[in-house]
Amino acid sequence: MKFFISILICIFTASSLFGYIQTRNDYGAQLKVFKELDIDPKYMKDPYFLAMSLDENNITKKSFVNIIKEEYSHISMLKELIKNSDMPKTFLYLAIVESGLSNKAVSNVRAVGMWQFMEGTAKIYGLKINKYVDERRDPVAATQAAVSYLKALKSQFGKWYLAIIAYNCGEGKLKKAIAAAGTDSLSVLVDPDKKYLSLETRMFIKKILLSAYMAEDSDFIISKDSSLLNNANQISITKIMVPGGTSLASVGDSIGLSLKKMKEFNAHLKFGFTPPNLKEYHMYIPISKKDLFVSNFKAIKSNKVFHVYKVKKGDTIAKIASKWGTNSNEIKKYNNITSVKANQEIVIPASKSAAVLSSYKVQKGDTLIRISKKFDVKISDILEANDMKTSNLDIGDSIVIPK
């Protein structure tokens, strides 16, 4: 094993991590990355770190370029937010490693969005998560929350690379690792033989460093692909405020963007509209469309009320539309669906003058008799509106209350 490591050191002394001859400028850029993150420069020569470039699971040049090609629309915004927050620019690569810069990313432990927030942590740092929105998918709000979280971790542990590690594995696990190792030295904490940290966390910090190296590599910088990472004139987004219940489609129509494109820019909206229970809420549009929006968009007071409905076994879109006094096409449009399945949550855009008064969530102690008296509605009408075969109710069920 020692002989193999010695051979690797010889190889990597002569060549760079990505197969290029390492120039003085490359070395300087790499050294800068280490200093930004408070890492001892000696770790640049760590044999296990050097050996990562041979690992088939490593972030390769091809996958790195593919990520910035697919998600380049967010890069200029992220770089600006990170810079304005007085954070090391290397934190852009944390998002690349976490999620591939995708707001749609979901981990196997239900971490969500570009910055892979768990729900509890997200709420601590001010992100809203409810039946209408999940701001972990909001590129601006989530980035601001991630900055706040990383700064808190830096304050707690004293070094940026420790903040990165804690971001991945949690403060508790990092504290235990430091206690077991007797040091917070990176080379010791990520030692693959001692295993103070999990393999996932050890790879996490290394991949961030390698991504930063890739971006600073002289051959990459002169390639056409680098413009996607460094071009200041990339497509970027701007925040607009619209009334609650405003559809993405109506804003898209005013600026010449398809509903599909509007959804790409607004992954934080669970449905095709802003929360109807708020006076106003934000959307994102390309910054180049801002003037067009100001000129063309006219806020119209909606004649619809929106309900979130959990599909029951045997439901079809036609049945649901009939039950809620709307039409099938409206349901399909707002949910971008052609069919439904049991337990799926969909939004019902119903006219205020439709045959549905409201939806009602069953409370402890509720019976059909009590609900019928409360809303002055016949029990038979409630049964029919909800396609109920029995009068049994479960706490938390949403039922339709007809007029």
Quote the pLDDT of residue 22: 46
pLDDT band, residue 358 (cuts 50/70/90): low
pLDDT band, residue 9 (cuts 50/70/90): very low
| pLDDT surpasses 60 at 292 | yes
Number of neighbouring beta carbons within 10 Å of residue 236: 18
Residue 387 pairs in a beta bridge with none
Whether 46 contacts 187, CB under 8 Å: yes
Quote the pLDDT of residue 335: 80
What is the pLDDT averaged over residues 52-80? 70
In the chain the domains, ranked by start, together with CATH numbers, are 2-230 (1.10.530.10), 237-296 (no CATH), 304-402 (3.10.350.10)
pTM of the model: 0.75
Element (H, E) at 211: helix 199-216
- Interval 89-147: pLDDT, tens: 899 999 999 998 889 999 988 999 999 999 999 999 999 998 889 999 999 999 999 99
Most confident of 12-26, 148-162, 335-349: 148-162
Segment among 37-51, 115-129, 248-262, 372-386 with least mean pLDDT: 372-386
Residue 351 pairs in a beta bridge with 304
Q: Tokens 């910054």 identify what position?
A: 287
Whether 172 contacts 198, CB under 8 Å: no
